[in-house]
């Protein structure tokens, strides 16, 4: 009988959810953390259940042909990337396969044309936003030796970096990161140096004391603008003024510095109060010829180039001719609506977060787009009870849907079926909930899923965005 702690040799057959590998043993599925599909590896069993096992990768016995050298020295410890050791082509194939599997197994949709995943041109330094955390220093064994030397044996208690996977109490101090940019790395290191020199302490959610919480860096990849947002527990204007001066001297590419202040108990990097210490307090970014103003707490897709790709796929599937009414459901800050506005007669966006609606309206005004209307409200209400707005707008020719990871409420999916649109374009960051919702959308026989296009927004992770096109029969 296999038990927890046993070590066995397995061949890792494929990719599973959350970047894990899948293997088989004694007729059971084993989810392995670490390794890449195609490896033969020694693994240690960590969980034994009736239907499946879980294991951690220990040592490599036979490398997969898809194995490559990870670029980052923190790979395997840090929670940021899980697939740096898997060749990028194999990552893309895995992502496409996860879409096909979800469509078939969850949606019962066999034979849908799923195109190859659209690759990112930049597989490193692709993010326009990074959120680093302050924490008490946590080091790997190897690092402990190196850093202890550097610090002459004195252990600092301040770390600035990323949380270890699943450990909200442990922060890995990072001096390099390949996710955002070279300037972002300099900002992290300059901030850490300043915090240490000024003797600043880290906020603890346990004791509810300490000043430093998060460092959020946002970049306009197409404008070169760069925002540094230091999230702190309390308001210390002298510290912020000194920090701003030091930072600008060391990283002149920073165009604005803001301080979000929050006494909240949770670890969300959101301020209740915001103070601007340098520049306009916001940055701009460009997607598809539109310019978006992004403030410290506004939502914006984190991979600019691939977001544009995603919206282009949605536009291509929507096949607009200029005469259509489009409904953009779950419209967020209006980026999809604005991307389609020039191709349609009218676009109506519906979204539940008031700030997102405000941002969407100001983005429309900023870009002089006259034919977008943004409505605030829960879609379930807006499509069922609270429908007076439908008297002022035509029924949709095309419906675009971009829900959160949890997918659509069943009542919303059923209501969409009654709208009579010719085409439905479903953008999703979770193929499993998308497949579940598509099953409802095809249930009456009126619509068919004709095509799907996965888009890779997050290289080196198992996340995949997928756009599906439903067309009305006849």
Which residues bind to ligand SAM, rule: CB under 6 A? 301, 330-333, 335-336, 350-353, 356, 378-380, 402-404
Please say which residue, 379 or 452, places its beta carbon nearer to ligand SAM.
379
Report, in Å, the least distance between residue 298 CB and ligand SAM. 10
First-last CA distance in the chain? 58
Report, in Å, the least distance between residue 19 CB and ligand SAM. 21
Give the contacts of 310 (CB within 8 A, at least 6 positions apart): 301, 427, 455, 457, 465, 467
CA angle, residues 351, 356, 361, in degrees to nearest 5: 95
Q: In the Cβ-directed half-sphere of 81, how many Cα atoms lie within 13 Å?
A: 26
What secondary structure letter does DSSP report for 22? E
- Rounded Cα distance between 229 and 295, Å, is 10
- Rounded Cα distance between 415 and 421, Å, is 11
Report, in Å, the least distance between residue 289 CB and ligand SAM. 16
- Rounded Cα distance between 48 and 50, Å, is 7
Please say which residue, 271 or 332, places its beta carbon nearer to ligand SAM.
332
Please say which residue, 28 or 440, places its beta carbon nearer to ligand SAM.
440
Dihedral sign from CA coordinates of 418, 335, 382, 378: positive
429 given a catalytic annotation: yes
Report, in Å, the least distance between residue 346 CB and ligand SAM. 17
Question: Shortest Cβ contact with ligand SAM: which residue?
Answer: 332
Please say which residue, 63 or 288, places its beta carbon nearer to ligand SAM.
288
Q: Which of 209, 199, 150, 205 is nearest to 175 (CA)?
A: 150
Assigned token pair, 120: 């990112």
Q: Is 457 helix (H, G, I), strand (E, B) or coil?
A: coil
- Continuous H helices in 319-474: 335-341, 354-366, 379-383, 410-417, 431-441
- Residues 21, 78, 372, 429: which is the catalytic one? 429
Q: Is-contact 267 239, C-beta < 8 A?
A: no
Report, in Å, the least distance between residue 426 CB and ligand SAM. 12
Report, in Å, the least distance between residue 329 CB and ligand SAM. 7
Please say which residue, 183 or 375, places its beta carbon nearer to ligand SAM.
375
- Report the catalytic residues: 429
């Amino acid at each position: 009988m296999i038990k927890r702690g046993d070590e066995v040799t397995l061949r890792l057959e494929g990719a599973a959810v959350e970047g894990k590998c899948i293997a088989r043993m004694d007729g059971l599925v084993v989810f392995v953390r670490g390794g890449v599909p195609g490896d033969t590896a020694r693994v240690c069993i960590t969980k034994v259940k009736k239907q499946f096992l879980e294991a951690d990768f220990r040592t490599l016995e036979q490398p997969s042909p898809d194995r490559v050298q990870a670029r980052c020295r923190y790979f395997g410890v840090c929670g940021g990337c899980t697939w740096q050791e898997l060749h990028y082509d194999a990552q893309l194939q895995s992502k496409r396969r996860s879409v096909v599997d979800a469509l078939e197994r969850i949606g019962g949709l066999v034979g849908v044309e799923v195109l190859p995943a659209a690759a990112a041109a930049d597989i490193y330094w692709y993010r326009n936003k990074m959120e680093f955390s302050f924490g008490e220093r946590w080091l790997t064994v190897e690092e402990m030796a190196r850093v202890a030397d550097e610090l002459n044996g004195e252990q600092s208690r301040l770390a600035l970096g990323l949380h270890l996977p699943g450990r909200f109490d442990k922060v890995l101090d990072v001096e390099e990161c390949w996710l955002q940019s070279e300037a972002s790395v300099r900002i992290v290191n300059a901030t850490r140096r300043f915090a240490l020199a000024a003797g600043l302490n880290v906020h603890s959610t346990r004791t509810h004391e300490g000043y430093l919480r998060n460092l959020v860096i946002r970049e306009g990849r197409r404008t070169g603008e760069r925002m540094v947002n230091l999230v702190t527990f309390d308001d210390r204007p002298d510290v912020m003024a000194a920090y701003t001066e030091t930072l600008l001297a060391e990283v002149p590419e920073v165009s604005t510095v803001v301080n979000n202040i929050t006494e909240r108990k949770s670890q969300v990097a959101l301020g209740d109060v915001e103070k601007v210490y340098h520049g306009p307090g916001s940055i701009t970014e460009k997607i598809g010829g539109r310019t978006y103003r992004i403030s410290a707490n506004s939502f914006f897709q984190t991979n600019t180039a691939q977001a544009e790709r995603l919206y282009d796929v949605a536009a291509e599937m929507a096949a607009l001719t200029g005469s259509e009414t489009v409904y953009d459901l779950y419209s967020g800050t209006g980026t999809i609506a604005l991307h389609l506005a020039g191709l349609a007669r009218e676009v109506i966006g519906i979204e539940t977060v008031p700030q997102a609606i405000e941002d969407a309206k100001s983005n429309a005004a900023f870009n002089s787009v006259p034919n977008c209307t943004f409505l605030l409200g829960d879609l379930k209400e807006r499509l069922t009870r609270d429908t007076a707005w439908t008297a002022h707008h035509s029924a949709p020719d095309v419906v675009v849907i971009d829900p959160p990871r949890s997918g659509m409420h069943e009542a919303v999916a059923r209501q969409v079926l009654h709208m009579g649109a010719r085409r439905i374009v479903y953008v999703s960051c979770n193929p499993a909930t998308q497949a579940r919702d598509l099953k409802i959308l095809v249930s009456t026989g009126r619509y068919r899923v004709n095509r799907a296009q996965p888009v890779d927004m997050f290289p080196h992770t198992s996340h995949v965005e997928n756009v599906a096109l439903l067309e009305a029969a006849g």
